Structure 1
Amino acid sequence: MQKCNFLFFFTVPIILFTINSFSSTSKKKIIFTHSINNNFSLIDPPSITAVGNQTYCSQTNVKIVTDVNITYDATESTTSSVSIQISSGYIQGQDILKLSNNYLSSNTTITESFNATEGKLTLTATTGNLPYEDFVTAIKEVEFYNSSASPSGTRNFSISIGKGQLSYLPRNGHYYEYVPDLGINWTAAKNAAATRTYYFLQGYLATLTAADEAQLAGAQAPGAGWIGGSDIETEGVWKWVTGPEAGTIFWRGEGNGTATAPFNYANWNAPNEPNDSGDNEDYAHITSPAVGNPGTWNDLPLGGNPITTANGNYYPRGYIVEYGGMPGDPELQLSASTSLTMLEIKTTTAATACENSSVTLKATASAGTINWYDTATGGNLLATGNSFTTPSLSSTTSYYVQADDCESTRVRVIATIYKLPTLNITNTTIPICESEKATLTATTDVGTINWYVSSTDNIILSSGNQFTTPALTQNTTYYAEAINNGCSTSIRTAVNIIVNPKPNVSDQTVILCKGFDTELDAGLSGMTYLWSTGATSQKITVNTAGTYTVNVTNEYNCSKEKKIIVTEHNLPEIDRIDVNETTVVIYLKKEETYFEYSIDGINYQSSNVFFNAPNGLQTAYVREINSCGQDSENFIVLIVPKFFTPNNDSFNDLWEINELIYYPKSSLSVFDRFGKLIAILNAKNTSWDGTYHKLMLPASDYWYILKIDDSGTEKRGHFSLKR
């Protein structure tokens, strides 16, 4: 298309508007300027180039370019923003892009914003547009920083100018854009993507055919959404159906399927996707981070999961548009790329030899020249290259390799020189206490020390300068030998362990009667004692319950701790005694398991219930089983009739307690319901006929008070008179 000038005359205010287009031959951007004198002109789109494929030393700030240049049409010399993205190799949480402190301290016209999810730094004019030259200056001040002490791999950077905030992949020259559109179905997303252009690059629903592409347009994208894969044509045969790859099969099967040529790549959310859940999941979608690894894919129905809400993990939120590779696309240079290779020593190969020999050490690096030094920092440069042959060495020597001038990558490579060891043991006789462990110590000028159970046994018990034995109960001998890579000139040295006895004490439980003292005894005389109370005597007196310990030490300085648990027991105290005919229950004010009971003072039992108690005045006894104390109380056992029927039928006509004849001091008073004394029974008069002053009393309940003797012990109850 050639530049065309058209002249029109309108009596209207000047109106300016721009329509973006490209000539297929000149690859120029068309600017339509509408004014009183309408002119249509072609301008060149901006173009950027950058230089700066460099190496990176850990935890340093390195500028991502050594030079950058932007060319542009004079009629469009400004822009509002530029973006720089870590397009491949990005590690979130470690990698950062930022403007240098020097630039920020002296410039206020451009601000920076780093999106950690996308790995993208955006430089934006604080107001309106700024000349491209200002952004060139800023780009030269963009620095990369990695927080790891040992970074690895390569970081590729894409520097993009032009409209929008798209991501650029230098490897294929394509651009990627996430378009948010809540609830959009796959077909609508496919159609919408096809209507989008980027500087007249034709858009299409993204086809992600390699790991770096899936990382940039998936894991580093600002949101999850539809991509251009589908198996709607044949179930289980997944094709890219958009863009230049339309019709290409990339996957066969479900979650256990396989990627196919020519890409041999897919990024399904393993191990279950795709799974065609519901028999209608035929469209590929970037998985929500809440249910899958960032950037991985899931198969969904045309409209996503219709059951979920707008906040659901399977509800469509947008789509990914890819630009580049379509027939008729203009040739643009809106992005440039540089890279940083993380300097690191990849491998090292040590070597060994005997005394007075040289060795050849080897190393490889991720990039740059390998330098060999004699110290971990600083030091002398000894050689360069992947290998280094040492001079003749008489002892083990460490050398250090680093990549280029990056001292933080320096790695030690050891030239091991073996010499005959010398064994030194200070103590060959070691006393210990029984059931304890002994720590045997030896040194050698080189190599290590092996410990054995005999002078000839080949089973190594332990290696090192110290050997801790198991707990021993008898005298034992172990043997030490110094050895250096199989070389040994020493004869095994015996170390004798003498096992001394500990004091023969054992733990004990002592009962303390409440309100009294008790004596605690360590149990052995002629020893040294240390009680938990601070006392140092063999015996101590205590009056408080608790756990007491005493450390007993004998003449071998062997100690053993004895623990004495002092338990306080209460004294028994009878609360009441219930008598139901011949059944007696003794109740205490406080029951304890260590009390026992008796009603004859001879036979004791743990139960407080007695059956078939003898009639008459009895005594209840309760004692503490360790003789801390006892209590007693009298009670009466008499079988009192519950009723009688004084109707002169010669059967049960009298209410009588025949046992009273055995208690000459007994007295039983009978009362009516109003408390009136009706009759008095005793040892000589043991029955009542139901009359008062020879008058028959009515049928009713009557009460009695029984006293066996003058002790004051009473038994009370009631009975019935029936007519």
Structure 2
Amino acid sequence: MSRIYAIFLFFYCIAIWSQTTNVAPVLQATGNQPYCAGTSVKIATSMTITDPDDLGVNNIFIQISNGYVQGQDLLTLTGIHPNLGSSWDATAGKLTLFGITGQPTYTELTAAILDVEFSNNSPNPSGTRSFSISVGDANYLPSTGHFYLFVPNLGITWTNALALANSSTYFGLHGYLATLTSLDEAVFSGNQASGTGWIGASDEQVEGQWKWMSGPELGTALTFTYWNTGEPNNLNDEDYAHITAPGVGLSGSWNDLSNTGASSGSYQPKGYIVEFGGMPGDPVLQISTSTSLYIPQITATTDGSSCGPGTVNLQATTNQGTVNWYTSATGGTPIATGNSFTTPLLNTTTTFYTVTSDCLNSPRTAITATINDIPVLSVNPVASGCSGLSTILSATTTAGVVRWYASMTSTQPLFTGNQYTTPVLNQTTTFYVEADNNGCISTRIPVTVTLLPTPNLGPDETINVCANRSASLAVFYPNATYSWSNGSTTPSISVTQAGVYQVTVTSAANCADTKTFTVNHYPLPELNSLLINGLDMTVFMVENGDFEYSIDGVTFQTSPIFHLDEGGFFTLTIREIHGCGLLEIPFQANVFPAYFTPNQDGINDSWSGKGLLISASETLTIYDRYGKIVFEINPRNPSWNGQINGQLAPADDYWFVYENKTNGLRQKGHFALKR
């Protein structure tokens, strides 16, 4: 009895298990077709869906998982499928197949997948495309075998996103916050997801040391990064990686945010990306399959050229098929096949066109066979120049550029251009000239420069003369013309003004030399003023010059400053050391009392210069300590009695200035009024 019960229980459990366990379908597809511009091609050549316990599924998702070009690529459901509809997501590059009235059968979905076609609106598409076909809504990347799902959740923190991602499952696969370890993954997840949000990288443990904090790469350093420009900037505890919002810098790139991110705008978290696949214990699933296509095209071309009429070799390569050569951009029949084509004899530049045999209707690629004219050079092989000077040589060409060389075999040109200015030449010298038209070289022609004598005017001169005398400037060269900077045309000129004078002497052979004369004037001695401060005298001249000074007529000095032992009559002698004049100025150095006591006792009751008789050409002005005039001594008031406007001036220090307009003498000092 117990044995019968055990057998019954075993079969009952099997029945219950079979009723509750849903086996995932197995998808298998093939397809690697060529795609030609302007056409459409089916993405799969065969497709099967095997599921032992289901007859259908709600949706099939077909995505361009590699090489997708938004705005150009398109997936379209063709054919008649009455129970199915389709929708195209241009951002994700994904086509969704769904039932119209109910769940579609695998038979209907298989037929529909085989009718999905790829097209591209560019006249010259390139690259390859990979397609993932999946029963789930997560994006499938064939290169990793993983699934990627964006989960919208406005304002979610990184730590909450990490926890929710780690608790997610997808057909038995364990989820984790995405770890994007290649450009393939980064572009696919960043550009083709339905939104942008958190990924699984952080440097919260050590600032600047970014690690993956989830998935199979948990705890490992980032060996691949896709940071936006200027990121990561590590500002304000920004320790968590986030895919940048669209329109902010590099599309699909990363930036670092704080755990919460911004409260609004481009840096507010919009959700997170969960990756499925690669975790220990994950089941082996075949809920996705993939196909691909390639675009046959001309991948490289090499133009050719010929110097003058001739044949030209052109090169082209293709990634698939054979290169066909044509004489026109459209129509016609091939004139040759293969990667290399030698043209017939050409007299003019001609364009040929290529296309791969696997896409004969694609736009053809132009390749040019250039016929360059062999240049003809025009130059005088004999030239004349002036010794000690540079010479300008000229040449013209019918095509290309002119190059000048130092020898017949030189490879490094001295100059490129029609006119070449030689270095200074002191002997007969030969140069060589040729023309180059895109590698087509003319015959190299020697040009010999024969030198003619150049007037030798000697070195430049500096002439110093007294300001009241003229300077004679002269040069001489036989059978020559003269041109002075002041307009004169004679061999010599006489000038009275200081300055720079130039003369150009041109020989009968038209060789010229220029000489510069600099004329400096020694100024004549002219007194500006004499200043005596106490018994210290300073001489001021109208112009600075080379002057010597004396007050006894015997001993001269270069300094204009004298110390007078006492007042009295003197004669100041000034002479210019180059003999440009002598000046004698008689003057009186007045002695002024250091104080006076205007107290009406008959002693020092008034103040003036000792023995000074003020004339109409002299002034003696007295100032208080604030610079205010308190009295002026003149012929009518020969001394000061210590009063200001009839009032006694206070005892204090006062200042005076004596001026003689006849000889420019000026004395100043101070004295005390005592009471």
With normalisation by structure 2, the TM-score equals 0.51
Question: Do 1:400 and 1:413's aligned partners in 2 also have CA atoms closer than 8 Å?
Answer: no
Match of 1:24 among 22, 25, 36: 22
Which ranges of structure 2 fall in alignment gaps of 5 or more residues? 1-19, 76-85, 463-473, 491-498, 519-524, 644-648
Distance 1:424 1:332, change over 3 A: same
Deviation (angstroms), 1:176 = 1.9
2:324 counterpart SS class = strand
Distance 1:160 1:440, change over 3 A: farther
Q: Which residue of 2 aligns with 1:226?
A: 199
Deviation (angstroms), 1:24 = 2.0
Match of 1:321 among 258, 261, 274: 274
1:267 is the counterpart of 2:245 = no
Match of 1:184 among 140, 143, 157: 157
For the aligned residue pairs, the C-alpha RMSD in angstroms reads: 8.2
Q: Distance in 2 between matches of 1:170 and 1:65?
A: 19
The one-letter amino acid of 1:184's match is T
Matches within 5 A, 1:213-252: 213-218=185-190, 222-223=195-196, 225-227=198-200, 242=215, 246=216
Question: Do 1:50 and 1:69's aligned partners in 2 also have CA atoms closer than 8 Å?
Answer: yes
Matches within 5 A, 1:330-345: 332=287, 339=293, 341=295, 343-345=297-299
Q: Distance in 1 between matches of 2:185 and 2:120?
A: 24
1:581 is the counterpart of 2:534 = yes
Q: Which residue of 2 aligns with 1:496?
A: 448
Q: Distance in 2 between matches of 1:553 and 1:89?
A: 77
Matches within 5 A, 1:501-580: 526=481, 579-580=532-533
Q: Distance in 2 between matches of 1:341 and 1:556?
A: 75
Match of 1:638 among 584, 590, 603: 590
Deviation (angstroms), 1:640 = 1.4
Distance 1:414 1:311, change over 3 A: same
Question: Do 1:665 and 1:710's aligned partners in 2 also have CA atoms closer than 8 Å?
Answer: no
The one-letter amino acid of 1:343's match is Q
The one-letter amino acid of 2:22's match is S
The one-letter amino acid of 2:128's match is T
Question: Do 1:63 and 1:144's aligned partners in 2 also have CA atoms closer than 8 Å?
Answer: no
The one-letter amino acid of 1:494's match is P
Question: Do 2:57 and 2:135's aligned partners in 1 also have CA atoms closer than 8 Å?
Answer: no
Question: Do 1:52 and 1:64's aligned partners in 2 also have CA atoms closer than 8 Å?
Answer: no
The one-letter amino acid of 1:88's match is N
Question: Do 1:599 and 1:618's aligned partners in 2 also have CA atoms closer than 8 Å?
Answer: no
Q: Which residue of 1 aligns with 2:14?
A: none
Matches within 5 A, 1:244-643: 246=216, 266-268=223-225, 285=241, 319-323=272-276, 332=287, 339=293, 341=295, 343-346=297-300, 363-373=316-326, 381-388=334-341, 401-404=354-357, 405=360, 406-407=362-363, 409-412=365-368, 425-431=378-384, 434-441=389-396, 452-454=405-407, 461=413, 468=420, 470-474=422-426, 475-479=428-432, 493-498=445-450, 526=481, 579-583=532-536, 610-612=561-563, 637-643=589-595
Q: Number of residue pairs matched?
A: 563
1:97 is the counterpart of 2:72 = yes
Distance 1:332 1:179, change over 3 A: same
The one-letter amino acid of 2:431's match is Y
The one-letter amino acid of 1:214's match is A
Distance 1:83 1:426, change over 3 A: same
Q: Distance in 2 between matches of 1:412 and 1:214?
A: 41
Distance 1:707 1:142, change over 3 A: closer
Q: Distance in 2 between matches of 1:711 and 1:355?
A: 98
Question: Do 1:97 and 1:121's aligned partners in 2 also have CA atoms closer than 8 Å?
Answer: no
Distance 1:312 1:715, change over 3 A: same
Matches within 5 A, 1:158-169: 167-169=139-141
Q: Distance in 2 between matches of 1:83 and 1:547?
A: 90
2:161 counterpart SS class = helix
Q: Distance in 1 between matches of 2:156 and 2:244?
A: 14
The one-letter amino acid of 1:642's match is A
Q: Distance in 2 between matches of 1:327 and 1:560?
A: 96
The one-letter amino acid of 1:612's match is H
1:24 counterpart SS class = coil
Question: Do 2:199 and 2:243's aligned partners in 1 also have CA atoms closer than 8 Å?
Answer: no
Distance 1:494 1:717, change over 3 A: closer
The one-letter amino acid of 1:267's match is F
Structure 1 residues 83-120: Cα deviation after superposition (integer angstroms, max 9, x where no partner): 965x33468xxx643789xxxxxxxxx999865xxxx4
With normalisation by structure 1, the TM-score equals 0.49
Q: Distance in 1 between matches of 2:657 and 2:343?
A: 119
Question: Do 2:585 and 2:663's aligned partners in 1 also have CA atoms closer than 8 Å?
Answer: no
Q: Distance in 2 between matches of 1:676 and 1:350?
A: 104
Q: Distance in 1 between matches of 2:483 and 2:662?
A: 62
The one-letter amino acid of 2:224's match is N
Structure 1 residues 676-715: Cα deviation after superposition (integer angstroms, max 9, x where no partner): 9999999xxx999999xxxxx9977688896879999997
2:150 counterpart SS class = strand
2:187 counterpart SS class = helix
1:217 counterpart SS class = helix
Deviation (angstroms), 1:642 = 1.9
1:212 counterpart SS class = helix
1:214 counterpart SS class = helix
Q: Distance in 1 between matches of 2:72 and 2:352?
A: 35
1:321 counterpart SS class = strand
Deviation (angstroms), 1:477 = 0.8
Deviation (angstroms), 1:370 = 0.9
Distance 1:179 1:396, change over 3 A: same
1:193 is the counterpart of 2:171 = no
Distance 1:478 1:713, change over 3 A: closer
Q: Which residue of 2 aligns with 1:106?
A: none
